[in-house]
Structure formats: C-alpha cells, structure tokens
C-alpha cells in the first residue's frame, strides 16, 4: 500500500514514441492530471544554490499574487534525491490559474544556469483549501460549459480543414 510520498515530484522522461499525428510541437511525458493533481502550491526544483530566492520571487510575481516562497531544501533532501548544488522552493499562489500558468511557462526552462523542474504540491493544502479547490472546479466547469455553448451559437461552427 505504501509508496514514497514524493513520487509525484520525480521528473518523468519525455515520450518520444508518439505516432506523428499526435506528436505535438513540444515533447511531453505521459502523465494524467485531474483536480486532485493540481494545486495553488508548487514545488520548484533545480534552482542553483546561489542565493536566488529574491530573483525567483520576482520572476514568480510576474504571473500573479504570490502568497509565499520558501526554501525547503533541507526538508526535501531527507525525502528524495536532489540535483547537486540546487535548492528546492515551496511556493504558494493566491489563485490556481496563476499557479497553472507559472508551471506551464517555467517548467524545464533555464534559470541562472540551472533547469527548473516544477510540480504541483497538493499535499501542502489544508482540508479547507482542498474543499474550496473541489468547489471551484465545479464552478469553473459550469462557467466553461455555458461559455462554450454561447461561443458556438455566436460563430460559425469549425470546419474540417483537410485539403
């Protein structure tokens, strides 16, 4: 029944064997996400150990309101193998969409000589935050469903583009 509780933070390999019709422009790993996977809390691995907390904070604040950004290298080093000479930061955004965007744009990108690896950290949420996250998911779904319906009736339907 047991698994290392940091398994979901390990970086997976990119998938290189996709059939051409479904190989996107970027390489991605084979991974599934649900509301249980995502979170306003992120862990950022691979930050070079040269006092970059300030720089990282500034970079993250460009995406939206940052609630906290703390170095947790000692805590994580006990639980999993970390890249040498790098720090791990635990980050909390005020909104989930902001965390999503930051993860998407910064994951696997260069940062002062290191390559960042970012993963969601839902284990850091409180029970109340988890309840709210699930509630927000159902609100977003309802909102999106309505939006998609009105978008469709306003514009001409998408046509098949094969020539």
Partner 1 sequence: MFSSHRHLKRRTPDQGIDRREYIGHLVDEYYTTTNVEALEQVTANLANFAYDPINWPHLHEAEAFDVFIASLKVQNQNLQLHGIAAICNICLDKAAAELIREHLSIISGLFVRTDHPVIVLHSLALFYQLLNAGQVDKELLLTPPLLKGVQEWRQKSHDQRIVKLSSLQQVQVVKRFTQNDLEQFAQFTGDHNYIHTLDLPVEERRVHGALLNAVVAGIMGTKLPGPGTVVLEQSFKFLKPCRIETDTVVTVRLLQSRKISTAEYDCRQNDEIVFAGNAKLLTRIT
Which parts of this chain interact with partner 1 (CB under 8 A)?
1-3, 5, 7-8, 15, 17-19, 21-22, 30-37, 100, 104, 122-128, 130-131, 134-135, 137-138, 140-141, 144-145, 147-148, 151-152, 155, 158, 160-163
Shortest reach from residue 48's CB to partner 1, in Å: 28
Shortest reach from residue 51's CB to partner 1, in Å: 30
Sequence-separated contacts (24+) of 12-17 with Cβ below 8 Å? none
Nearer to partner 1, 15 or 62 (CB): 15
The string of DSSP letters for 34-58 reads -TTT--SEEEEEEEESSS-HHHHHH
Nearer to partner 1, 57 or 124 (CB): 124
Nearer to partner 1, 48 or 122 (CB): 122
CA distance 61 to 17: 37
Shortest reach from residue 107's CB to partner 1, in Å: 13
**CA quadruple 40, 45, 47, 50: dihedral positive or negative?**
positive
For residue 160, the number of C-alpha atoms closer than 13 Å in the C-beta half-sphere is: 2
Phi and psi torsions of 43, nearest 5°: -115, 135
Nearer to partner 1, 17 or 51 (CB): 17
């Amino acid at each position: 029944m047991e698994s290392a509780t940091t398994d979901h933070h390990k970086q997976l390999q990119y998938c290189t064997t996709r059939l051409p019709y479904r190989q996107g422009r970027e390489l991605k790993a084979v991974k599934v996400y649900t509301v249980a996977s995502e979170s306003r809390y992120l862990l950022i691995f691979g930050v070079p150990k040269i006092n970059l907390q300030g720089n990282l904070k500034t970079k993250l604040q460009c995406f939206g309101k940052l609630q906290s950004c703390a170095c947790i290298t000692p805590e994580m080093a006990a639980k999993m193998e970390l890249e040498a000479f790098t720090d791990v930061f635990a980050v909390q955004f005020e909104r989930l969409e902001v965390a999503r965007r930051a993860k998407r744009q910064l994951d696997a990108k260069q940062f002062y000589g290191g390559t960042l690896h970012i993963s969601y950290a839902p284990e850091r949420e409180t029970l109340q935050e988890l309840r709210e996250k699930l509630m927000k998911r159902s609100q977003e779904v309802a909102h999106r469903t309505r939006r998609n319906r009105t978008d469709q009736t306003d514009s001409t339907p998408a046509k098949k583009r094969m020539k």
